[in-house]
Chain A
């Protein structure tokens, strides 16, 4: 994992002290809320439905055991004993006190963490593949590139006040596990004739105007990557709409001028930027990359597993993924127990996951955009012990990518922008499909719920998506089918009039019945939907 140098540390420490002073001035009345709000947002502090909410950055979703313990400590000492892992691979605390926020940031800084650029119209936390450095199918480890982008984008003076927030994702395999093309800029690292570089996609996103990012460059050599991104951001910064918040994202700019024209302007700017010499010298990249060198794998480990315990077998089948190294595996920890709150973990659970990472996973954890946690490098021989510990803590739900592995935003239970609650609906759907065999029979089915059009719950990218709306003061839910955030990326479509909370659960059950009746061998729900279209589903639901 990357470790701060003195420059990183002093920058983060200085920011804590600056914020401490800003909070003191707010509490003394020297700053009004209007003056203070942009300052607190730059430090990840929102005012939500019940209290201040702090969003802590987890760069590209990677954490050490020590950092994870710190997250548990903060939950216990400053919050109400839990945290919420988000679709941006970050963590949020819901019950923060303003006068304690500087102390929290100071504690985070001791483990090289912060909340900088988790809000505001700047480049946000870089997201990446949660299996980076472990996946069997990657062409390179995307994390050194994500880290390079983190350093480039942190406090970038030109890009601190963009027209709107800006999200970048880096992956390194053809399988997209990070919704790469639904980012403002998505980078897929590829190799061409042995040379590493990136395919660049720009102008994707969800929210009120969902768009899939078109490819704007089929190959940028790794040496040119920063210059190219600098150019891409400059063109956006120059022409992005600042007059209308709903039209300010890069996706609108690219939609309005066309990908071809945007690309032309980026190329022109790139030719200029390239003369500025901002790409790091190879030695600097190598310095960063060295932090992500593979751990010291044990050689000669067996791939055999004793699967005689049926519950363990179920968990291995569903939640454990092949690793690039023989004898190792990637273990997914579901934060979606049946009837639970998607993405929430108690301080004790967070501590346990930290301990397991330290003991069994080379001290590493990952946060996924699906609001789960990953132990990326565990020996197969340790899986049973790990599973037993997880099971005891309520963390061994075997439902990865199944219908109960629901992404749900905080919704109206916590979020001041919400129209409807997301979490109770996720709980009801989980309970309706609680039977493990029933879920497994339905196979991969990505269900995603947002409490409003901002789409933090990625409903546009759900095989089944649900959007909460406000219908004359009551909660109502629109149902969407056919989305995907993966390599088969697509945007879900609304199927018809909305439902009450119970109505939407019934409608989903009917849809799964249609799928079961019409599916052919190996077809997932979304495949069947794509093949047969919406009509049979509509007929069953509304007919």
Chain B
């Protein structure tokens, strides 16, 4: 599947396209098929996102998992500071990245 990601313009937070809006959580992502570029252009034009781009991901029971480690680290947070990730209470969250 293809999912769309970018950064929130003001906060810089990593965000994911849910089909209607942007979420901080990658598991909310939807498959944008071939519409990614068009959505990206429209959303960036409306300043709801900054530098959006389409990435490959695998569908898993827990939700989409980006194909490349770089995007998995973007999705979770720095692997060396679990306290600063989106899942600070989950000791196994880092395994999802690797």
Contacts and interface: CB of A to CB of B under 8 A. Distances in A.
Interface stretch (A44-52, A147-155, A303-311): A44-52
A167 B17 CA distance: 40
A29 B13 CA distance: 18
A98 B84 contact: no
B98 to A, nearest CB: 9
Given A47-B12, A413-B78, A33 B51 contact: yes
B10 A97 contact: yes
B13 to A, nearest CB: 6
B87 interface: no
Main secondary structure on B side of the interface with A: loop
Nearest to A94: B78
A169 interface: no
Contacts of B11: 51, 97-99
Contact of A98 (B9, B67, B68): B9
A51 B13 contact: yes
B69 A49 contact: no
Given A47-B50, A412-B70, A98 B10 contact: yes
Contact of B68 (A341, A423, A473): A473
Interface string A470-487: 000111000000000000
Contact of B74 (A49, A94, A99, A475): A49
Contacts of A99: 10-11
B23 interface: no
A416 B44 CA distance: 20
Nearest to B77: A50
Contacts of B50: 33, 47
Interface in A24-77: 26-27, 29, 33, 47, 49-52
A97 B13 CA distance: 8
Interface residues of A, number: 29
Contact of B12 (A29, A96, A423): A96
A312 interface: no
Interface string B70-85: 1001100111110010
A427 interface: yes
A38 to B, nearest CB: 14
A27 B10 contact: yes
A33 B68 CA distance: 25
A65 to B, nearest CB: 27
B78 A50 contact: yes
B3 interface: no
Contact of B44 (A33, A51, A98, A475): A33
B80 A341 contact: yes
A50 B44 CA distance: 18
A33 B49 CA distance: 10
A424 interface: yes
Contact of A474 (B12, B69, B74): B69
Interface string B1-19: 0000001011111100000
Contact of A80 (B47, B73, B84): B84
Interface in A95-149: 95-99
Nearest to B67: A473
A294 B66 CA distance: 56
A413 B74 CA distance: 8
Contacts of A27: 9-10, 47
Given A414-B78, A423-B80, A475 B69 contact: yes
Nearest to A424: B80
A418 interface: yes
B60 to A, nearest CB: 17
B26 to A, nearest CB: 13
Contacts of A98: 9-12
Contact of A421 (B12, B14, B68, B79): B79
Contacts of B69: 412, 473-475
A265 B26 CA distance: 56
B70 A49 contact: yes
Contacts of B84: 80, 95
Nearest to B51: A33
A424 B79 contact: yes
Interface string A227-271: 000000000000000000000000000000000000000000000
Contacts of A474: 69
A52 B80 contact: no
A97 B12 CA distance: 6
A418 B51 CA distance: 18
B8 to A, nearest CB: 9
Contacts of A47: 7, 12, 50-51
Contacts of B51: 33, 47
Interface in B42-98: 44, 47, 50-51, 67-70, 73-74, 77-81, 84
Contacts of B9: 26-27, 98
A51 B80 contact: no
Contacts of B80: 341, 413, 421, 423-424, 427
A412 B7 contact: no
What 8 pairs between A and B have smallest CB-CB spacing? Answer: A51-B12, A413-B78, A52-B12, A99-B10, A423-B80, A97-B11, A29-B47, A98-B10
Given A412-B69, A413-B78, 8 more contacts: A29-B47, A47-B12, A51-B14, A97-B11, A424-B79, A424-B80, A427-B80, A474-B69
Interface of B: 7, 9-14, 44, 47, 50-51, 67-70, 73-74, 77-81, 84
21 contacts: A26-B9, A47-B12, A47-B50, A47-B51, A49-B14, A50-B74, A51-B11, A51-B12, A51-B13, A80-B84, A98-B9, A413-B80, A414-B78, A418-B70, A424-B79, A427-B80, A473-B67, A473-B68, A473-B69, A474-B69, A475-B69
